[in-house]
């Protein structure tokens, strides 16, 4: 039965997967939705809200379903449920979706390279998200998508922070920074690939990381749990002279915009959209985050990037929006702010 539902869902997805090009020919990619943490067992009115905003791209940052299993039949059943959600199907029919995974759709809570079923989970991911044969040829879900329209190039870099990730140190329910030289977040092959991507010309590089890159003060999963790897990322941005790098992340069941001086010559922003229907809806204290510039510490939300390419120095609106589409957090930046020399002390 599960197989039948799965087959029907795949057929539906194949019919409705849209072209990757923006809707108006020649228009640069300028409206990008993103977010994370969708529990398929709960309603998600946010899909219709996102669809109404007409994003050119929708970036799925992981925990795109709560699978938490090493059983292939469970993957089939739950991906089938996701595909059958009318709101999700509507959005997918209108907007190119690009996905990475986080722990719950990887299959193991806070899991990494030690998860024995990771290759089965990868095959299920590839089927559901219809990744290309080229992407299937390498392990992990990392991938690059380039949209060179209207004389402007938007690069979307999908990171895999699960498949290759070394075990973390956890004490008293809190992750501890681990500086061991042999611990990795991305693995060597993915680091090499990322270096090549950073050397490829692009105006704006949106880096999809399931876990937060900039925040470092909370006790949960984050790049800062492997500080050498986090620094390696900053060093790579600097050594490749890549400009226009902007991180988007999920996982935390809260929305926030963070920013740091990482020594690359321009500010590193990290916009966390989380979750589609898995946030606390009542008021709660914020998590500590020395880099926070905007926050949504309650309410389901999605991230929204809107770029006005017509301006001489393009305006990039970084936003978090709620279930009803209201703007809950907003930080406007300029493309020139993401260029080397913006922070002159470096
Ligand atoms: Fe997660």
Using 50, 70 and 90 to split pLDDT, how confident is the model at 105? very high
Which is more confident, 226 or 13?
226
Identify the bridge partners of residue 332 per DSSP, sorted by sequence position: 317
Quote the distance between the C-alpha of residue 44 and its chain's center.
Answer: 19
Report the distance separating Cα 128 and Cα 96, nearest Å: 14
Please give the distance, rounded to the nearest whole angstrom, from the Cα atom of residue 32 to the centre of ligand 1.
Answer: 21
- Given a cut of 90, whether residue 280 has pLDDT beyond it is no
Determine whether 6 is exposed, middle or buried from the number of CB atoms within 10 Å of its CB (0-12, 13-18, 19+). buried
Determine whether 166 is exposed, middle or buried from the number of CB atoms within 10 Å of its CB (0-12, 13-18, 19+). middle
Report the distance separating Cα 320 and Cα 331, nearest Å: 9
**CATH number of the CATH domain containing 34:** 3.60.21.70
- Given a cut of 50, whether residue 338 has pLDDT beyond it is yes
Residue 85 sits in which domain range?
Answer: 2-7+29-338
Report the distance separating Cα 212 and Cα 109, nearest Å: 16
Check residue 176 and give its pLDDT.
Answer: 97
Please indicate, yes or no, if residue 139 is contained in any of the structural domains.
yes
Please indicate, yes or no, if residue 21 is contained in any of the structural domains.
no
- Given a cut of 80, whether residue 12 has pLDDT beyond it is no
Determine whether 333 is exposed, middle or buried from the number of CB atoms within 10 Å of its CB (0-12, 13-18, 19+). middle
Please give the distance, rounded to the nearest whole angstrom, from the Cα atom of residue 241 to the centre of ligand 1.
Answer: 31
DSSP, residue by residue, 203-225: SEEEEEESS-SS--SSSSS-GGG
Which is more confident, 18 or 132?
132
Which is more confident, 290 or 19?
290
Report the distance separating Cα 143 and Cα 131, nearest Å: 9
Please give the distance, rounded to the nearest whole angstrom, from the Cα atom of residue 10 to the centre of ligand 1.
Answer: 25
Sheet with 268-272: list strands edge to edge.
143-149, 152-158, 204-209, 245-249, 268-272, 255-260, 292-296
Please give the distance, rounded to the nearest whole angstrom, from the Cα atom of residue 218 to the centre of ligand 1.
Answer: 14
- Strand 255-260 to 268-272 pairing: antiparallel
Please give the distance, rounded to the nearest whole angstrom, from the Cα atom of residue 68 to the centre of ligand 1.
Answer: 11
Q: Name the residues around ion ligand 1, CB cutoff 5 A.
A: 63, 102-103, 251
Please give the distance, rounded to the nearest whole angstrom, from the Cα atom of residue 243 to the centre of ligand 1.
Answer: 28
Check residue 162 and give its pLDDT.
Answer: 98
Instruction: For residue 268, give the 3-state DSSP assignment.
Output: strand
Check residue 21 and give its pLDDT.
Answer: 43
Please indicate, yes or no, if residue 16 is contained in any of the structural domains.
no
- Given a cut of 90, whether residue 102 has pLDDT beyond it is yes
Using 50, 70 and 90 to split pLDDT, how confident is the model at 24? confident
Check residue 26 and give its pLDDT.
Answer: 79
Q: Where are the alpha helices (DSSP H) in 60-219?
A: 72-84, 86-94, 103-106, 118-129, 133-136, 188-198
How many residues are present in the chain?
A: 346
Give the other-Cβ count within 10 Å of 206's Cβ: 24
Element housing 180 (H / E): none
Please give the distance, rounded to the nearest whole angstrom, from the Cα atom of residue 223 to the centre of ligand 1.
Answer: 13
∠ CA 234-261-338 to the nearest 5 degrees? 80
Name the percent of the chain lying above pLDDT 90: 88
- Given a cut of 60, whether residue 1 has pLDDT beyond it is no
Please give the distance, rounded to the nearest whole angstrom, from the Cα atom of residue 278 to the centre of ligand 1.
Answer: 11
Please give the distance, rounded to the nearest whole angstrom, from the Cα atom of residue 34 to the centre of ligand 1.
Answer: 15
Please give the distance, rounded to the nearest whole angstrom, from the Cα atom of residue 174 to the centre of ligand 1.
Answer: 15
Please give the distance, rounded to the nearest whole angstrom, from the Cα atom of residue 194 to the centre of ligand 1.
Answer: 22
Please give the distance, rounded to the nearest whole angstrom, from the Cα atom of residue 271 to the centre of ligand 1.
Answer: 15
Please give the distance, rounded to the nearest whole angstrom, from the Cα atom of residue 311 to the centre of ligand 1.
Answer: 37
Please give the distance, rounded to the nearest whole angstrom, from the Cα atom of residue 175 to the centre of ligand 1.
Answer: 14
- Domain total in the chain: 1
Please give the distance, rounded to the nearest whole angstrom, from the Cα atom of residue 333 to the centre of ligand 1.
Answer: 28
Q: What is the pLDDT of residues 67-100, one digit of tens each?
A: 999 999 999 999 999 999 999 999 999 999 999 9
- Given a cut of 50, whether residue 10 has pLDDT beyond it is no
Give the other-Cβ count within 10 Å of 241's Cβ: 11
Check residue 345 and give its pLDDT.
Answer: 61
- Given a cut of 70, whether residue 53 has pLDDT beyond it is yes
Check residue 16 and give its pLDDT.
Answer: 36
Please give the distance, rounded to the nearest whole angstrom, from the Cα atom of residue 14 to the centre of ligand 1.
Answer: 28
Determine whether 199 is exposed, middle or buried from the number of CB atoms within 10 Å of its CB (0-12, 13-18, 19+). exposed
């Amino acid at each position: 039965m599960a197989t039948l539902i799965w087959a029907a869902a795949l057929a539906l997805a194949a019919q409705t997967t849209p072209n990757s090009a923006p809707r108006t020919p020649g228009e640069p990619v300028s409206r990008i939705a993103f977010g994370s943490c969708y529990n398929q067992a709960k309603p998600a009115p946010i899909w219709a809200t996102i669809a109404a905003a007409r994003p050119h791209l929708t970036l799925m940052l992981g925990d795109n379903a709560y699978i938490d299993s090493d059983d292939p039949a469970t993957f089939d059943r739950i991906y089938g449920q996701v595909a059958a959600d009318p709101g999700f199907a509507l959005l997918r029919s209108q907007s190119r979706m690009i996905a990475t995974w986080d722990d719950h759709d990887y299959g193991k809570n806070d899991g990494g390279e030690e998860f024995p079923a990771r290759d089965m989970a990868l095959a299920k991911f590839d089927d559901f998200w219809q990744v290309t044969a080229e992407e299937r040829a390498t392990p992990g879900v990392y991938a690059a998508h380039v949209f060179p329209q209207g004389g402007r190039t938007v690069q979307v870099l999908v990171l895999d922070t699960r498949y290759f990730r070394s075990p973390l140190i956890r004490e008293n329910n809190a992750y501890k920074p681990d500086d061991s030289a042999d611990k990795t977040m991305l693995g060597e092959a993915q680091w090499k690939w990322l270096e090549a991507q950073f050397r490829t010309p692009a105006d704006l590089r949106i880096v999809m990381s399931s876990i937060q890159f900039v925040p470092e003060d909370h006790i949960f999963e984050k790049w800062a749990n492997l500080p050498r790897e986090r620094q390696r990322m900053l060093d790579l941005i600097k050594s490749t002279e890549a400009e226009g790098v902007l991180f988007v992340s999920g996982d935390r069941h809260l929305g926030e915009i963070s920013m740091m001086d990482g020594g690359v010559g321009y500010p590193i922003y990290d916009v966390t959209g989380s979750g589609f229907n898995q946030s606390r809806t009542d008021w709660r204290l914020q998590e500590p985050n020395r880099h926070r510039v905007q926050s949504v510490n309650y309410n389901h939300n999605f991230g929204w990037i809107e770029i006005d390419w017509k301006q001489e120095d393009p305006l990039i609106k970084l936003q978090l929006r709620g279930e009803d589409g209201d703007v809950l957090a907003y930080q406007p930046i300029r493309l020139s702010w993401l260029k080397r020399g913006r922070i002159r002390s470096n």
